[in-house]
């Protein structure tokens, strides 16, 4: 009886190890982190209404233009991925966006990460496309006199207003840090410019509030909001660079 009990105990332990996603060889860090997180957001279709309902329940302001919106009446507004998803599909090498949604659990987790999602005017979001961030000559104010957002289609560059550059930079650094092993990286020139924006526009009370709320929803924080000095250290180490 004693021998039988020992055998059964060992068998149970082996099966438990096989069922533990952390014990599966070859599984990447993003998938492992979320697989063991009870608050994981499985895909973008789940994350999008969560952003409006839980992160901005009383409305707020759009990232690029600072337009005031009501979460219950959002005509003309949608959700912007600050770190472009076309860059993520390239990093994962999983095909086009629809193909990645069908093929890659990792892509779905990346696309649903609330730290990268922000309310935006639909026209501004569309024109920003997947352009890199940088300086654009002139002040055309194509989106109205109060929207300081410039796009150069020729250079494929987008320039946000100074008051939103810190949020943009910290979202970009977060994605390139959390999903580095999935191929999400920044070119050195882009990272150095984002560091300047990060320093010039430190985290606001609203950004801290948002970080707190997102932690309750998906179980992790943007470290660069909590500890801004980490950016400079990682820049010096070449952590973000392609």
Segment 80-93, tens digit of pLDDT: 999 999 999 999 99
> Where are the alpha helices (H) located in 26-138, listed in sequence order?
29-35, 44-50, 85-92, 97-103, 105-111, 122-128
CA distance linking residue 206 with residue 195, whole number of Å: 20
Residue 138: the pLDDT is 85
Hey, what are 202's tokens?
């430190």
Q: pLDDT tens digit string along 130-181? A: 999 999 998 889 999 999 999 999 999 999 999 999 999 999 999 999 999 9
Residue 183: the pLDDT is 96
Residue 196: the pLDDT is 98
Given a contact cutoff of 8 angstroms between Cβ atoms, the answer to whether 148 and 104 are in contact is: no
pTM of the model: 0.85
pLDDT less than 70: residues of the chain:
1-38, 242
Residue 38: the pLDDT is 63
Residue 84: the pLDDT is 98
C-alpha torsion angle, residues 219, 89, 242, 238 (rounded to 10)? 0
Residue 72: the pLDDT is 85
Residue 242: the pLDDT is 66
Residue 117: the pLDDT is 98
Token look-up 């008051």 returns 163
């Amino acid at each position: 009886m004693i021998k039988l009990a020992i055998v059964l105990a060992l068998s149970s332990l082996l099966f438990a190890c096989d069922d533990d996603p952390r014990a599966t060889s070859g599984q990447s860090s993003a998938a492992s982190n979320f697989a063991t997180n009870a608050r994981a957001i499985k895909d973008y279709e789940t994350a999008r209404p969560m952003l409006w309902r839980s992160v901005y329940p009383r409305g707020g302001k759009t990232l690029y233009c600072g337009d005031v919106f009501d979460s219950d009446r959002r005509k003309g507004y949608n959700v912007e991925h600050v770190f472009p998803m076309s860059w993520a599909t390239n990093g994962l090498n999983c095909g086009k966006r629809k193909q990645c949604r069908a093929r890659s659990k990792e892509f779905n987790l990346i696309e649903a990460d609330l730290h990268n999602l922000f309310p935006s005017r639909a026209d501004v979001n569309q024109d920003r496309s997947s352009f890199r961030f940088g300086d654009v000559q002139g002040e055309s104010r194509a989106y109205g006199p109060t929207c300081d957002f410039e796009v150069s289609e020729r250079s494929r560059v987008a320039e946000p207003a100074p008051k939103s550059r810190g949020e943009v930079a910290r979202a970009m650094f977060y994605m390139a840090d959390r999903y580095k092993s999935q191929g999400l990286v920044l070119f050195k020139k882009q990272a150095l410019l984002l560091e300047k924006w990060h320093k010039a526009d430190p985290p606001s009370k609203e950004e801290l509030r948002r970080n707190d709320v997102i932690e309750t929803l998906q179980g992790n924080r943007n470290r660069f909001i909590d500890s801004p000095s980490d950016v400079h250290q990682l820049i010096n180490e070449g952590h973000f660079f392609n």
